[in-house]
Structure 1
Amino acid sequence: MNDDLFLGFDLSTQQIKAIAINSKLQPIIEANVEFDVDTPEYLTKKGVFTNAERQEVYAPVVMWIKAFDVLLGKLQMAGLDFAKVKCISGAGQQHGSVFWSEDAESMLASLDSEKTLAEQLDGRQFSHDMSPNWQDHSTGKECDAIEDTLGGPEKIAQLTGSKAHHRFTGPQIMRFRTLHPEKYDKTWRISLVSSFFASILLGKIAPIDVSDVCGMNLWDIPNSKWNDEIVRLVAGGTEAGKVELLRKLGEVELDGGKDLGPISNYYVRRFGFSSDCFITPVTGDNPATILALPLRPLDVIVSLGTSTTLLVSTPVYKTSPSYHIFSHPTTKGLYMGMLCYCNGSLAREKVRDEINVISPPSSDSWSSFNEAALTSPPLGVDSGNTSKIGIYFPLPEIIPDCKPGVWRFINDADSLHNASAEEWDIPTADARTILESQNLSMRLRAGPMLSSTGQPRRVYVVGGGSRNPAICEVTGQIFGPTEGVFKLELSNACALGSAYKALWSTQRMVDSSTGEYETFDDFLADRWDESTMIAKVDVGYRKGLWEKYGEVLPAFETAEKVAVESK
């Protein structure tokens, strides 16, 4: 057992990564292939093609196949003993779709081990050679049609976990059917990027994963089935069209640890994989991220990168057009909540740079910003009911749907008004206020997904911003996690979470009294060495302060509405 290896892949927008771990969760070998660098013949930029006029962003499917060839070669050169790999799982960029031709499965099943994948999976297997990317914004008309027909964004969110989104696969299929009717008619099956990758490994078309399917606007999450009304609309409005689209979509695998079958003989013969190595469902990249640590219910991950993303594990199916709810990738009865913001580090860096002009930093570029943030009192006031509230969007924001701009308000017990120059020390006061603004927005929306109090157990911070002590401290003050804020290094989170899932799928125990499998979180927690994996960076809950921030949430929500409605 000590020699067994478990392999996780991550097929993301700009690269494909792999990591092999042993049964003690220890990484053994890692490798990656960057599309623009390692497969330059496809001429992509940051892994995609862009048609700005039509707001389309897409990637060539055959590029991913060629990149997988290259990645397997890199793993082989790095010394990976493929014969020791017992199970494989993976993650795929969410929402993208792959359109298979009717010859696809027979070609997958008859691959020649003397040839590369790219030599054989050369495009004939696909009715359409491109996959829409999550950055695509071309489906506004389709999103409007879905929401208008089904009863608005709240209703769509209640059914599918999210309002209709441009990048989601349902609207993308709807547009593809209208724009390319001949290609749609020739499409035998439709995969997500995740199930496409599982299909390449299996040598047959794989089912869609229980969590990744929630990024389609087609899956009825509460009832665990395709939503007939939305599928019918996407398929053209007829019963016959609905039946045909359901056939193209196929089944959804509800068990995230299911043995989907052995790896294709192609890999056994060409690379020396064991014929006993099996494949488990490949999920989306965001669901895979929450598998990179034993995330308990009421735990939150905040990714502090160029954009800001919040992920939460929750037993509560509480929907809103403002965020996403997905079924948990491994645990029945749990859900994954997700908030995605365009503005993250760019907004913070803009304030930092403005402060550095008037107060050159004494050490690193953040020292003046951090000093201003931590010496300013919470909400900009030492006492009383008055508070400062700022909204900072250098980029157009999606939460809320708002144009770029900066808004500064003074809130007192009775009113909210625009701050005057005398009331706001620009830019010094912005240091704390921008951190409060970003965290208040997340707390406002994540609260319903947590307990009745809206208070998390833990907050895990990842990404570049997690290295900044001021950001971590303000995050802890506003979220008030009962056990604190923890920094987590997750450079290969999706691939690592996938490798952990492969291990769990192989070794999970069954409770003889209930017939239920050991949960992923329990399984991982038993093997997780917290002392080496994470570092506590803030105490979290401070009595009185967390409550004070809670009291200002209604005023903050009003401030956001003013920003959205301003011309």
Structure 2
Amino acid sequence: MEERTFLSLDLSTQQLKGVVVSDKLEILNKASVNFHTDLPEFRTHGGVIIDKTNPHYITAPSIMWVKGLDMLLDRLTMEGVDFSKIASVSGSAQQHGSVYWVRGINNTLGNLDSKEFLHVQLATSFALSNSPVWMDSTTTEQCRELEKAVGGPTKLAEITGSRAYERFTGSQIAKIYHNKPDTYNRTERISLVSSFLCSLFLGKIAPIDISDGSGMNLMDIHTKEWNQTLLDACGPDLAEKLGHPVPSNTNLGPISNYFVERYDFKPDCKVIACTGDNPASLMGMRLDKDWIAVSLGTSDTVFLWLSEPTVVLNGHVLCNPIDKDAYMALLCFKNGSMTRERIRNNCCEGSWDTFNHLLDSTPRGNFGHIGLYFDTQEILPFLRGDYRFNKTGPVNKFTSLEVEVRAVIEGQFIAKRAYAEDFGFKFDKDTKILATGGASVNKSILQVLSDVFNAPVFVQEAADSAMLGAAYQAKYGLVGGSYNALLSSLPDPELACQPYSDAAEVYGPMVNRYRSIIKELVKCCK
């Protein structure tokens, strides 16, 4: 059999990454494009634009993502990738963001000139030039209307897997319909960022997959179909603008002729549905019911496999990308890596070595200090700003750099454990944690994770679980069969660290204290 490879892309908040894997799913080539440094003309910070007059309004230029793909494919070419060997393409992307295509877009995508860059030809293809992204939190009014439409937040969570969240796509669409009706009317199709990425390769608007679609507050997670009452609450003719959702491993057909002519892809290279970064991470980590996963990226997430959906108001239940009859539980924390980097920059002049030294030299429990840092409007809890506490109560600042450093890491992990327990997860002696994302290469940070959860932490050989999950999806969607059998040749996760013997004694009371602190803060901020 002729050698074949698989291409995966990950369109995250800060960058676009690409990887080519072999038939044995071994990494052959990688490349990336950083939006802030490689595309400075778009003037983003961390890949997004924060409105100067309203810091809750956060978007990203849609065309920037297209230009990023042009650059990425050129960089993969420079890496020596033979595109003619690629059998299928798939991808993952930041969840909840939305892209608004102008009328006639399928004709444009289907007739691209291979001699020109994509971003040149698609410059006028968006009814809304800047896409709302997951960091935006300006749709509180629309969230309440969505909940009201079906009888309250609990009922909405029962139907869609989540109560209404400001960053979710349904409320974002509703805001655009009400505030920018001309934009809404000029929009032929609305894509999620994942299906937008897929559309570029497919040469026509790609359908939304059910896993990413279940993070919109619009889909009935039981039937895997759009809920008409919720669609009507957002805008007219929305079903036509969204299209029909499909299973995550759907083979959507051959790649666009643009890529055949420009990059020498084979005409029979297939495009597999793209999904959100969290479902893709579940695939990349090969998660099952015996593990809890913690992804440490731009946003931090905690998730696990569910056989049946549960109704929760603090967290999310999404459709499982691997098993159409299963689900995945997800807790999302918006203030992840960029918040850790801010404290690192302030305390350690940008040095992770110094940061880790301070973290390692400060005792577990941090002398009774707790720090909570929310650079952008947090989801869990719904707060913004910095909050510092010593043993007796709130303080304006900590007295040393090492206390500040340990406070940001402990505070983030204590929150994750508290909300996971509130979700119903029971921690016991058999609990194992799989860490992924950019910070999972930092052993000092992982040791705090292990101690706070009082459980061993494992890592995989490759940390980019979303991108790898999409690579596995590219092959899975092409060949089918058993997903576990497909991945059987991959190495097992490696033990990174074990909790210290006093971990339960130190952090059990801190989790309880965290709950009390949050209760008072939320009460004061209402």
Query: Which TM-score bucket, shorter chain as reference?
Result: 0.7 to 0.9
Q: Shift of the alpha carbon at 1:224? A: 1.6
Deviations 1:441-474 (A, max 9, x none): 3223223656666777421223565455554344
Q: Residue 328 of structure 1 contacts residue 336 of structure 1 at CA under 8 Å; is this kept in 2?
A: yes
Pick the structure with greater CA Rg.
1
Partner-residue secondary structure (3-state), 1:527:
coil
Q: Residue 142 of structure 1 contacts residue 171 of structure 1 at CA under 8 Å; is this kept in 2?
A: yes
Q: Residue 83 of structure 1 contacts residue 274 of structure 1 at CA under 8 Å; is this kept in 2?
A: yes
Bigger mean CA offset, 363-372 vs 426-435: 426-435
Quote the Cα distance in structure 1 between the aligned partners of 2:305 and 2:500.
Answer: 19
Note the 1:124-273 alignment, pairs <5 A.
125-235=125-235, 241=236, 244-254=237-247, 256-273=248-265
Deviations 1:310-334 (A, max 9, x none): 2323334223232222112222233
Partner-residue secondary structure (3-state), 2:53:
helix
Quote the Cα distance in structure 2 between the aligned partners of 1:118 and 1:57.
Answer: 22
Partner-residue secondary structure (3-state), 1:252:
coil
Quote the Cα distance in structure 1 between the aligned partners of 2:521 and 2:333.
Answer: 16
Q: Residue 135 of structure 2 contacts residue 334 of structure 2 at CA under 8 Å; is this kept in 1?
A: no
Bigger mean CA offset, 392-401 vs 294-303: 392-401
Q: Residue 388 of structure 2 contacts residue 394 of structure 2 at CA under 8 Å; is this kept in 1?
A: no
Unaligned residue ranges in structure 2 (runs of 5+): none
Q: Name the counterpart of 1:536.
A: 495
Partner-residue secondary structure (3-state), 1:222:
coil
Counterpart amino acid of 1:229?
T
Quote the Cα distance in structure 2 between the aligned partners of 1:311 and 1:146.
Answer: 25
Note the 1:455-466 alignment, pairs <5 A.
457-463=431-437, 465-466=439-440
Q: Name the counterpart of 2:478.
A: 506
Quote the Cα distance in structure 1 between the aligned partners of 2:420 and 2:476.
Answer: 28
When residues 470 and 189 of structure 1 are mapped into structure 2, their CA distance, relative to the original with a 3 A threshold, is closer
Q: Residue 91 of structure 2 contacts residue 471 of structure 2 at CA under 8 Å; is this kept in 1?
A: yes
Q: Name the counterpart of 1:373.
A: 363
When residues 217 and 45 of structure 1 are mapped into structure 2, their CA distance, relative to the original with a 3 A threshold, is same
Q: Residue 358 of structure 2 contacts residue 405 of structure 2 at CA under 8 Å; is this kept in 1?
A: no
TM-score by length of 2: 0.86
Q: Shift of the alpha carbon at 1:428? A: 8.1
Percent identical across equivalent pairs?
A: 34
Q: Residue 387 of structure 2 contacts residue 394 of structure 2 at CA under 8 Å; is this kept in 1?
A: no
Unaligned residue ranges in structure 1 (runs of 5+): 236-240, 357-362, 381-387, 411-417, 510-517
Q: Residue 438 of structure 2 contacts residue 464 of structure 2 at CA under 8 Å; is this kept in 1?
A: no
CA RMSD of aligned residues (A): 3.6
Quote the Cα distance in structure 2 between the aligned partners of 1:444 and 1:52.
Answer: 34
Counterpart amino acid of 1:260?
L
Q: Shift of the alpha carbon at 1:197? A: 1.5
Q: Name the counterpart of 2:104.
A: 103
When residues 541 and 157 of structure 1 are mapped into structure 2, their CA distance, relative to the original with a 3 A threshold, is farther
Q: Shift of the alpha carbon at 1:26? A: 1.3
Q: Shift of the alpha carbon at 1:547? A: 9.1
Q: Residue 304 of structure 2 contacts residue 330 of structure 2 at CA under 8 Å; is this kept in 1?
A: yes
Deviations 1:147-195 (A, max 9, x none): 3443333332222222222221111111111122122122222111111
TM-score by length of 1: 0.80
Q: Which of the residues 459, 466, 486 maps onto 1:487?
A: 459
Quote the Cα distance in structure 2 between the aligned partners of 1:38 and 1:345.
Answer: 20
Bigger mean CA offset, 226-235 vs 446-455: 446-455
When residues 440 and 129 of structure 1 are mapped into structure 2, their CA distance, relative to the original with a 3 A threshold, is closer
Quote the Cα distance in structure 2 between the aligned partners of 1:143 and 1:332.
Answer: 27
Q: Residue 434 of structure 2 contacts residue 457 of structure 2 at CA under 8 Å; is this kept in 1?
A: yes
Deviations 1:48-95 (A, max 9, x none): 333232443223322322322222222223221111000100012221
Partner-residue secondary structure (3-state), 1:486:
strand
Pair 1:308 & 2:300 matched: yes
Quote the Cα distance in structure 2 between the aligned partners of 1:253 and 1:101.
Answer: 23
Q: Name the counterpart of 1:319.
A: 311
Bigger mean CA offset, 17-26 vs 546-555: 546-555
Q: Name the counterpart of 2:421.
A: 447
Bigger mean CA offset, 287-296 vs 449-458: 449-458
Q: Residue 347 of structure 1 contacts residue 392 of structure 1 at CA under 8 Å; is this kept in 2?
A: no
Q: Residue 504 of structure 1 contacts residue 523 of structure 1 at CA under 8 Å; is this kept in 2?
A: yes
Q: Which of the residues 506, 519, 522 maps onto 1:561?
A: 519
Bigger mean CA offset, 469-478 vs 72-81: 469-478
Q: Name the counterpart of 2:382.
A: 401
